[in-house]
């Protein structure tokens, strides 16, 4: 069950059995059903989540009660409200599964402890955040310089799996358009 986590670490660093056992002892396993929130707006955030199964989403609700998806997280990826977690301010996001899901939970405190105790764990997380940073930067560029149709086409190319698992209104929200607009985009290809 924690094999996926080990493989995940070992894409970047190598670990002995005992090192991995020590690391993984700081994670707890959690099964989630639809509408079971890991994080809700206003809460203090203490944990970070590594996805084993299913798909999670993080999103905010704006003043007009509209939902805006910030992130999807598929297996082998991490999710949390990092703004709230790192700056210790109340969360502005909700995080819950798209359908059902399974995650491994680690507290920020334990993560920092591990980073402190094991240089290579700190190395791992630095590399990981670097990749996350690059991904977000690409997303910003996409939002700034391409129209909704291009963003849509890029997304299906990059994550075809999403289109099976995730309702189109959530994908529309992630792309920054309404579900009506998304519907029209792929009904009337270029």
Partner DNA sequence: AAAATAGTGTGACATACATCAAATTATTTT
Partner DNA sequence: AAAATAATTTGATGTATGTCACACTATTTT
Can you give the binding site for a copy of itself, defined by CB under 8 A? Answer: 60, 62, 66, 68, 70, 82-83, 86-87, 115-116, 119, 122-123, 125-126, 129-134, 136-141, 143-145, 176
**Nearest alpha carbon to residue 78 among 56, 109, 59:** 56
Per the structure block, which two tokens stand in for 11?
A: 């894409």
**Interface with DNA, residue 154, by CB under 7 A:** no
Q: Which of residues 92-151 bind DNA (CB under 7 A)?
A: 147-149
Query: How many other CB atoms are found less than 10 A from the CB of residue 5?
Result: 18
Residue 180 contacts which entry, DNA, a copy of itself, none (Cβ below 5-8 A, type-dependent): DNA
**What are phi and psi for residue 178, nearest 5 degrees?**
-80, 160
Q: With respect to DNA, which residue has the nearer C-beta, 119 or 184?
A: 184
Cα 33 to Cα 37: distance, rounded to the nearest angstrom: 9
Q: With respect to DNA, which residue has the nearer C-beta, 106 or 177?
A: 177
Q: With respect to a copy of itself, which residue has the nearer C-beta, 100 or 137?
A: 137
**Interface with DNA, residue 68, by CB under 7 A:** no
Instruction: Please give the span between the terminal C-alpha atoms of the chain, in angstroms, as a whole number.
Output: 44
Residue 181 contacts which entry, DNA, a copy of itself, none (Cβ below 5-8 A, type-dependent): DNA
Query: How many other CB atoms are found less than 10 A from the CB of residue 166?
Result: 19
């Amino acid at each position: 069950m924690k094999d996926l986590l080990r493989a995940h670490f070992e894409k970047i660093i190598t670990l002995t059995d005992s090192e991995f056992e020590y690391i993984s002892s700081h994670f707890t396993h959690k099964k989630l059903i639809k509408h079971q929130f890991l994080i809700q707006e206003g809460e203090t955030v203490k944990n970070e989540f590594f996805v084993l199964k299913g798909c999670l989403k993080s999103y905010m609700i704006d003043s007009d009660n509209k939902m805006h998806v910030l992130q999807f997280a598929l297996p082998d990826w991490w999710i949390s409200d990092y703004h709230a977690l790192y700056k210790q301010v109340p969360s502005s996001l909700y995080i819950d599964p798209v359908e059902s899901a399974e995650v491994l939970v680690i507290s920020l405190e334990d993560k920092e402890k591990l980073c402190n105790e094991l240089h290579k764990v700190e190395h791992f997380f630095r590399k990981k955040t670097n990749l996350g940073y690059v991904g977000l930067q690409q997303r910003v560029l996409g939002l700034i310089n391409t129209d909704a149709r291009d963003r849509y086409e890029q997304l299906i190319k990059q994550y075809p799996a999403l289109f099976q698992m995730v309702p189109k209104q959530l994908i529309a929200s992630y792309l920054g358009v309404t579900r009506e607009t998304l519907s029209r985009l792929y009904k009337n290809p270029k």
